Every structure is written in C-alpha cells, then in structure tokens.
C-alpha cells in the first residue's frame, strides 16, 4: 500500500510535466553568462531561475521532433532567444524567420531530444544544431555548457562559420573565444583578398585538406597536426602540402609549415624543414620556389631565391644562381618605397667565369625622390664588367641585344603647370659585341640645362611656347668635336578653332650658339658659330561627319582632311658638328613636324606642304573606333640643301606616299597595315601587314609581314629586311594549349627566331614548357628551355616563359589567370 501511495505522486508529476512546462516563460541564455566580459551595445536580461533537469533547456532550444521511444518526461519545452518570435507550442517546427531574428550574442539550439540543467549543461541528441550569429555547429550529439561557453559535438560533426567549413567525428569549441580542437577534420577555408591593383577584381583563395587534429587558437588562427593543404578541389587534389605541423594565420594571411613535403600527382617533389607561404598572395619572408632552365650559353641554370620582407616598404631578394658551364653567381635586388622617394638596387657578382676565367659583375640603381615641393630628382645608373655580359649570361633577347647602358642624374623644378626647369648629367657605357661593327658611344652631357614654358591664356587668344637649352658635350674619343651649345626657341601661335574646322598659324625664331673645341685635323674651322632661323608653320583641317551603314551595321563616318605648311630659310650648317642629331624615321608623325631631324644640330631648310586625309568609322552607341584609314604625302617647293654628313640631298618635288589602315573587320578579327611608296622611283620603300584572329581568351592567331628596302636610320639599301612572322596560342583539347612563334627572314633565307611551347591547365595548377631560339647574327645563336609548374595560390617551380610569350605572341593569355583579372586582348 505504501508503495502504491509513493508511486501516485510521481506518476502525477510525470503526467503533468508537459502542461507545467508549456506555461513557463521562454528560456533564455543571457550573453553576459557566456562571455568573459560584457559586449558593449548588446542588451541583456537577468538570468532565469534554474529549472529542474528534464523540464527544459537553458538555451533557445526547440525539438525538431520527439525522439522515438523517448519517455514523456524527457520531452523538452520550447524556448527562444531575446527578440525571437514566439515558438509554437503544438510541436510543429518553428518558422524560418525565427532563426533570422536571433539576437546578437544569443544561442539557438535545436535537436530531436534536449535535456539538461539550465545555466549548467545542456545535452542535445539527434540532428543537434547550435547557432550563434554566423557560427553553426551540428552533430549527432551536442553538449553545451553555458557558464564556460563551451560546446562539445560528437558524431558527424560539422562546423560552418562564414566561408569556413570543417567536418569530422568529434569537436570541442569555446564559441566566443574561438578556442578548441577538432579531431580528424576535413576542412575548407576561403578568404577574399583586397585587390591592390586598380580595376583588378578581388581574389578568393580556398585552402582545403585534412589533419589528425585541428586546434582553434583564436579568431582566424588554426594549427593542424599531420595535415595537408591545397587550393585544389578537396575530394581529389592534384597537389598538396603534407606537413607535420601547419599553422594558418588568416590575420597576417600567412601559412607556416614544418616538416613539409610538396606532393604532385602522388609524387613528392620537394621537402622543406620549415617554410612560410602566402594564403592569399601577400608578401612575406622566406625561400621562393627554385627556378630551373637550360641554354647553350650557360648550360643547366638553377636559382634558389630568398625573399626578405624587411618592412612594408622595403624588401630584398637574394638569389644564388648555379650555371653548369660558367659557375656560381650571386644576385641581390633591393627595393624601397616611401612617400618621398623610391627606387631599386640590383647587384650581380660571379667570382670566376669558367669559360672566360674572369670575374663578372653587374650593378644597376634607379632612384626617384621628391626633394621639396615642385623639386624632383632621379638617378639611373647601369654598368657591367664586360661587353659580352648580357650576351653570355642572359637568355632574354631584349637584354642580349643591349648596346648602351644609361648613366644619368636629373633634377626637375616644376613650380607651376606652365613652366619647368631641369638639369641633367648623362653618359653611357657602350658594349662592343662585334669587332667588325663597333657602335659609336653617344656624347656625354656634362651638364644639360633646360627651360620649358607654355602659356595658352594670352590676350587675343594667342599661345606662347619657349624652349631654352644649355648643354656641354664631351666624348672620350679625342678625334671628335666637343663643346657647348646654347639654344633659345620662342614661339607664338594664334589658333582659330570652330566646330567643323581649325586654322593655327605659328611663328618662332630658333637661335643657337656653339663654342667648340676642335680636334687637331679640324683646326681651320670656326670655334664659335651662331645660327638664327625664323620658322613659320600653318596647320589647318576640316571635320566632316555623316551617318552611314556597312554590312547592316550603323556607324558614324568622319572625313578629316588636313594641310600642314612649313617654311624655314636655308643657312649653311656644314661647320656645325653632330652631337645628338639624327634623321627622324619617315612616318605620319614626321611629315607633320617642322624639322626633319631630332636634336638641335641641324635645322632643315623647308618650303613644303603636307596634305593628308583620314576617315574613321565610329560605333555610335559605344564611341569605339572600328576602322581608321589615312593617306598623306608631302610636297616640296624647293630642293633640299641642309643635310647630315654623308646624306644625299633630296631633289624631287614629292615625298613618299604614306598610307595606313587599321580596324576590326569582325568582332574577332582585326587588320593593321602601313605602306610607304616612292613615286619618284616607282617602288615600295616599306610595307607592313598584320592580321589577328582572336575569338576568345587564350585563343589568338597572328600573321605579320614586314618589308623595308633600306635601313631606316642609315638609309643603306643592303641593310634592309623582309620577314614573315607567324604566332599564336590555341587550345589543343583536354586542357592542353599550344603556343608558338616563327620569324623567317626572306632576304637571308633563314629563321631568326623560334618559340614553341605547350601549356596545360590543371584547374588548380598549370604546366608550361617552351623552347626559345634566336640569332642576333647568323653566327651567334642562343637557345633556351623554359619549364614551369605553377601551383595556384602557392608558388611556381622552374623558369617562367610567361614574359617571353606575352612579349612575342600578340593576344597571348595566361591560361590560369583568375577570371576577374582577364581583359580580352589586354596583354
């Protein structure tokens, strides 16, 4: 009887528990109880009275459905966070807006079965989920301790926070402090870097992998044991880092690996005891990926650079380089950037070249500085130890063909937008690589002083321009003239412009005075020479427009005739030496200039008219120019008398005819052509023609033909050329791309340059290989091999041919360039 009496109250209690719980107020976790310090600006409520075990949860807990077979007394009550919508009491799922309205700092927990003690420990089982702000933690079983703000999850655990996703069998985490650990995790961590290049889209770098254990060491701080890391797809990465200890610091965006192996296609290719790598491509100290190459000049070429990030505005790259044929070279590049000055210093040193037996060095310094408001300075110094330095040690055709290395210092004062003054000292190191053809070293300027002024706001609409110069020329060769040149050239113009036409007359006086030091064999010539020449020009043009249609497309067509007249009287200038003067290349820019020559040692006599007409097709919707055609010719009213030494004076009345055409024939094809025709002798002086077909990114085909009857500068017919150039980049299928260029000299019947390469886009990596052969002359051929493995988001291994391909193949596109960075044809 006593037993029955004892059971009755217990039975009543159990049967009435749901109805009692349904009448309780919502159960709330105060943010003050789950944080080590209060969060400013978050409104909280005092803690509720502790509930007995089994009566409810100390969180915003809602059962998703009763657990099968669970006792009635274990069914949890419904509770919500501050500010959340009331939870239904009929056992149905809460509305979706309930989660969206979760208050800052509040915790929301759902599960099939929830029990525990309020403000002490809550246990959620069956599809358990914990949510706070952007953190979502799910698992088969979840334990949450409110006082320590600690959650434990077991079985099919998954943690999501923003773009971070981690899954595994077990996890323990302090939610607010982001401290804890994850057992056997599979992880994916994505971050978006801020673009430092204007117009460039931000990059998203995703790192993924697995580990034995992941430790959370604060927000954006992770440490992993026996881990992998890759930017490939997590399921089956083509490459990954396998590390004993891996630290991912997403505040500094730096990864640190200890005992790391680089695995590519299941094959280890490198091992580092310690290495740091960028998580989103920022600068940091450490060894860069080695570069490899092979050429006939240096043999096997291996470089292992070390990058030292000294400060945000200073860095240095130290690169030991081993060349199989020549020996060891040490290269150092130091860069600096401050608000007042910037520059770059490069030094290369080879103690002994095995081929030549000599020490070989290179030094280069470029420096720019703001000295005071409006006062700027710059230094550009370059030097090598011997004439064959670039030819022997560089596989770059542009470097191998260097002849004059600049050495100059410059000061510029520009206090306003209409005048400026500058001072310059300048010399060159001239490299002699062919004993049969020795280049002449340019004159040294010790110093050169310049004054320039332009005013466009003078009375009556006139404009004024002035150029003044004083320069002292020097030369190491004693058989050449030296001395000084003083120049004053004021000009006044009266532009008359209207909507459909313009007329601009201009007059100036070019005054020059020389003080010369003649060599012994010119002792009889004058040492002091003065020259003053008036120069008159008249520039006039018309602008016509009309709407027209070609091939069903509407365009705005223009017709722009132009006439340019020049008159300069003749004055004998044969006694003036040539310091810095050369004949301009004949072209559209030259025929609309007042002088045939650059520099100030020759002012060509002129009484001539240039006539030209240009027509353009413009897209009326975008304003883009689709086509341009120009034809022009110069007419001489008297014979030429002023010439350069050795130049044959012109006697004909007509100059060569110039014609040019450029345009996009279709959306994917474009044509460029230029023609120079000699009507006096009825032959073509020069002709260029090029076609490009580029239907998409990394798909381009180019054909070019170039012909010149004589050398452009010297006018020697024997030095002319005729060649054909074919280049392109095209997908071959299965992510393979081919890239090539062949330049053949038709005049010499030989191939002067060849490039052949293959590229493969592996999605998260790219492989490139290229062979480059070029001949600076028929007897001197340089060959180089480039092989590069680029691991997206990490580094590249080998020697990169990208700069060579971009320079040599118009329209070339880097196949693994981020989509946000691709600009059609802009390379």
For 238, 239, 766, 820, the CA distances from 265, given in Å and listed in that order, are: 5, 6, 13, 28
Query: Got the DSSP string for 428-480?
Result: EEEP---SSSPPPPPPEEEEEEEEEEEE---GGG-EEEEEEEEEEEE-S-TTS
**Bigger pLDDT: 309 vs 99:** 309
Listed range (14-28, 115-129, 200-214, 765-779) with the worst mean pLDDT: 14-28
Average of per-residue pLDDT across 736-745: 96
Most confident option among 14-23, 57-66, 101-110, 507-516: 507-516
**Bigger pLDDT: 73 vs 576:** 576
Listed range (80-89, 182-191, 236-245, 525-534) with the worst mean pLDDT: 80-89
Listed range (279-288, 298-307, 816-825) with the worst mean pLDDT: 816-825
Listed range (434-443, 553-562, 689-698, 739-748) with the worst mean pLDDT: 434-443
Rounded to 5°, angle at Cα 21 from 16 and 24: 135
Q: Using 50, 70 and 90 to split pLDDT, how confident is the model at 221?
A: very high
| pLDDT the model gives residue 317 | 92
646: left (phi over 0), alpha (psi -120 to 50) or beta: left
SS3 415: coil
Average of per-residue pLDDT across 337-366: 95
CA distance 173 to 257: 24
Q: Considering only CA atoms, which of 336, 332, 386 is closest in space to residue 358?
A: 386
| pLDDT the model gives residue 567 | 97
Average of per-residue pLDDT across 459-466: 94
Q: What share of the chain is helix, strand, coil (3-state, %, to 5)?
A: 10, 55, 35
Q: Using 50, 70 and 90 to split pLDDT, how confident is the model at 779?
A: confident
Listed range (99-103, 181-185, 353-357) with the worst mean pLDDT: 99-103
| pLDDT the model gives residue 233 | 86
Query: Got the DSSP string for 550-569?
Result: ETTEEEEEEEEEEEEEEEE-
Contact of 390 with 358, CB cutoff 8 Å = no
Q: Using 50, 70 and 90 to split pLDDT, how confident is the model at 589?
A: confident
Q: Using 50, 70 and 90 to split pLDDT, how confident is the model at 319?
A: very high
| pLDDT the model gives residue 675 | 95
Average of per-residue pLDDT across 518-540: 93
CB atoms under 10 Å from CB of 152, counted, come to 19
| pLDDT the model gives residue 66 | 38
| pLDDT the model gives residue 202 | 57
Q: Considering only CA atoms, which of 711, 661, 709 is closest in space to residue 681?
A: 709
* Continuous segment of H or E residues that includes residue 783: strand 780-791
| pLDDT the model gives residue 88 | 38
What is the tens place of the pLDDT at every residue in 395-408? 555 555 678 999 99
pTM beyond cutoff 0.75 = no
CA distance 173 to 182: 8
Q: Using 50, 70 and 90 to split pLDDT, how confident is the model at 585?
A: confident
Q: Using 50, 70 and 90 to split pLDDT, how confident is the model at 26?
A: very low
**Bigger pLDDT: 362 vs 785:** 362
Listed range (60-74, 175-189, 589-603) with the worst mean pLDDT: 60-74
Q: Using 50, 70 and 90 to split pLDDT, how confident is the model at 236?
A: confident
CA distance 788 to 293: 9
| pLDDT the model gives residue 819 | 40
| pLDDT the model gives residue 400 | 56
**pLDDT at residue 228 greater than cutoff 80:** yes
**pLDDT at residue 510 greater than cutoff 90:** yes
| pLDDT the model gives residue 111 | 94
CA distance 47 to 766: 58
Average of per-residue pLDDT across 122-150: 93
Average of per-residue pLDDT across 737-742: 97
Average of per-residue pLDDT across 226-245: 92
**pLDDT at residue 299 greater than cutoff 60:** yes
Contact of 612 with 631, CB cutoff 8 Å = yes
**pLDDT at residue 306 greater than cutoff 90:** no
Q: Give the count of alpha carbons within 13 A of 512, CB side only.
A: 19
Average of per-residue pLDDT across 132-146: 93
| pLDDT the model gives residue 171 | 96
**Bigger pLDDT: 678 vs 438:** 678
What is the tens place of the pLDDT at every residue in 702-715? 999 999 987 655 55
Average of per-residue pLDDT across 729-745: 95
Average of per-residue pLDDT across 280-292: 72
Structure letter (DSSP) for residue 105: T
CA distance 632 to 676: 10
CB atoms under 10 Å from CB of 212, counted, come to 11
Provide φ and ψ at 710, rounded to 5°.
-145, 165
Rounded to 5°, angle at Cα 599 from 610 and 475: 155
CA distance 291 to 787: 9
Give residue for tokens 């086509």.
627
What is the tens place of the pLDDT at every residue in 643-655? 999 888 988 888 8
Q: Using 50, 70 and 90 to split pLDDT, how confident is the model at 74?
A: very low
Average of per-residue pLDDT across 111-127: 89
| pLDDT the model gives residue 54 | 35
Listed range (140-149, 291-300, 736-745) with the worst mean pLDDT: 291-300
pLDDT above 90 as % of the chain: 58
What is the tens place of the pLDDT at every residue in 172-198? 999 989 999 999 999 999 876 554 444
| pLDDT the model gives residue 593 | 93
- Average confidence score pLDDT of the chain: 83
**Residue 197 CA to chain centroid, in angstroms?**
7
Q: Considering only CA atoms, which of 516, 512, 537 is closest in space to residue 525?
A: 516
**Residue 45 CA to chain centroid, in angstroms?**
54
| pLDDT the model gives residue 646 | 87
CA distance 736 to 790: 15
Q: Considering only CA atoms, which of 783, 813, 806, 810 is closest in space to residue 397?
A: 783
**pLDDT at residue 827 greater than cutoff 60:** no
**pLDDT at residue 38 greater than cutoff 70:** no
Q: Considering only CA atoms, which of 454, 468, 450 is closest in space to residue 411?
A: 450
CB atoms under 10 Å from CB of 454, counted, come to 14
Rounded to 5°, angle at Cα 332 from 326 and 336: 160
Listed range (24-28, 192-196, 431-435, 575-579) with the worst mean pLDDT: 24-28
């Amino acid at each position: 009887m006593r037993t029955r009496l004892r059971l009755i109250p217990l039975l009543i209690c159990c049967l009435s528990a749901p109805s009692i719980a349904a009448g309780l107020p919502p159960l709330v976790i105060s943010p003050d109880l789950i944080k080590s310090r209060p969060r400013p600006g978050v409104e909280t409520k005092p803690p509720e009275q502790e509930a007995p075990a089994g009566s409810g949860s100390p969180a915003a807990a809602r059962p998703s459905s009763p657990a099968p077979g669970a006792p009635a007394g274990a069914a949890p009550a419904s509770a919500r966070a501050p500010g959340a919508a009331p939870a239904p009491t009929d056992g149905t799922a809460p509305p979706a807006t309930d989660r969206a309205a979760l208050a800052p700092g509040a915790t929301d927990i759902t599960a099939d079965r929830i029990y525990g003690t309020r403000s002490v420990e809550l246990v959620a089982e069956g599809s358990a989920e914990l949510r706070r702000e952007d953190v979502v933690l799910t698992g088969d079983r979840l334990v949450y301790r409110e006082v320590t703000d600690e959650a434990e999850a077991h079985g099919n655990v998954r943690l999501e926070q923003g773009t971070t996703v981690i899954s595994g069998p077990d996890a323990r985490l302090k939610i607010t402090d982001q401290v804890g650990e994850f057992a056997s995790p599979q992880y994916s961590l994505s971050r978006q870097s801020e673009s430092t290049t204007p117009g460039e889209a931000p990059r998203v770098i995703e790192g993924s992998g697995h580990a034995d254990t992941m430790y959370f060491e604060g927000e954006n701080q992770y440490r992993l044991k026996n881990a992998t890391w890759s930017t490939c797809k997590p399921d089956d990465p083509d490459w990954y880092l396998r590390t004993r200890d891996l630290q991912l610091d997403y505040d500094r965006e730096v990864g640190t690996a200890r005992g790391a192996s680089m695995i590519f296609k299941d094959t280890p290719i490198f091992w580092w005891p310690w290495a740091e790598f960028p998580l989103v491509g920022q600068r940091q100290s450490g060894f860069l990926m080695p570069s490899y190459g092979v050429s006939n000049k240096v043999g096997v070429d291996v470089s292992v650079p070390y990058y030292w990030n000294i400060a945000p505005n200073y860095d240095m790259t130290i690169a030991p380089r081993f060349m199989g044929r020549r020996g060891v070279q040490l290269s150092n590049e130091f860069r600096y950037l401050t608000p007042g000055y910037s520059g770059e210093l490069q030094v290369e040193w080879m103690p002994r070249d095995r081929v030549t037996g000599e020490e070989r060095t290179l030094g280069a310094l470029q420096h720019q500085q703001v000295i005071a408001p409006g006062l700027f300075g710059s230094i550009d110094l370059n030097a090598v130890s011997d004439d064959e330095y670039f030819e022997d040690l560089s596989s770059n055709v542009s470097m191998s063909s260097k002849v004059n290395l600049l050495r100059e210092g410059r000061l510029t004062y520009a206090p306003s937008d209409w005048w400026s003054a500058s001072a310059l000292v300048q010399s060159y190191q001239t490299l002699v690589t062919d004993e049969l053809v020795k280049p002449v070293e340019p004159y040294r300027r010790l110093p050169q002083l310049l004054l320039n002024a332009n005013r466009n706001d003078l009375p009556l609409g006139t404009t004024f321009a002035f150029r003044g110069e004083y320069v002292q020329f020097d030369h190491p060769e004693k058989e050449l003239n030296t001395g000084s040149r003083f120049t004053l050239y004021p000009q006044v113009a009266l532009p008359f412009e209207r909507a459909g036409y313009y007329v601009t007359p201009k007059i100036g006086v070019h005054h020059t005075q020389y003080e010369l030091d003649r060599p012994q064999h010119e002792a009889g010539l004058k040492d002091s020479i003065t020259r003053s020449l008036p120069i008159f020009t008249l520039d006039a043009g018309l602008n016509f427009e009309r709407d027209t249609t070609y091939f069903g497309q509407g365009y705005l067509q223009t017709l722009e005739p132009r006439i340019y007249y020049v008159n300069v009287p003749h004055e004998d200038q044969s006694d003036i030496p040539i310091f810095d003067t050369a004949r301009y290349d004949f072209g559209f820019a030259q025929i609309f200039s007042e002088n045939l020559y650059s520099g100030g040692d020759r002012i060509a006599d002129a009484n001539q008219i240039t006539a030209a007409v240009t027509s353009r097709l413009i897209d009326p919707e975008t304003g883009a120019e689709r086509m341009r055609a120009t034809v022009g010719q110069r007419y001489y009213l008297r014979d030429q008398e002023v010439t350069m030494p050795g130049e044959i004076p012109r006697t004909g009345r007509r100059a060569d005819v110039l014609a040019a055409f450029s345009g996009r024939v279709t959306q994917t094809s474009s044509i460029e052509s230029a023609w120079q025709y000699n009507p006096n002798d009825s032959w073509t002086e020069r002709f260029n023609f090029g076609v490009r077909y580029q239907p998409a990114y990394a798909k381009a085909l180019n054909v070019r033909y170039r012909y010149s009857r004589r050398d452009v500068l010297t006018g020697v017919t024997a030095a002319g050329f005729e060649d054909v150039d074919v280049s392109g980049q095209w997908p071959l299928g299965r992510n393979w791309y081919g890239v090539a260029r062949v330049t053949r000299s038709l005049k010499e019947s030989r191939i002067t340059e060849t490039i052949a390469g293959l590229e493969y886009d592996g999605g998260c990596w790219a492989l490139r290989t290229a062979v480059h052969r070029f001949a600076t002359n028929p007897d001197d051929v340089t060959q180089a091999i480039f092989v590069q493995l680029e691991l997206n988001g990490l580094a590249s291994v080998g020697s990169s041919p990208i700069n060579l391909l971009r320079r040599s193949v118009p329209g070339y596109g880097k196949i693994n360039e981020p989509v946000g960075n691709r600009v059609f044809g802009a390379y």
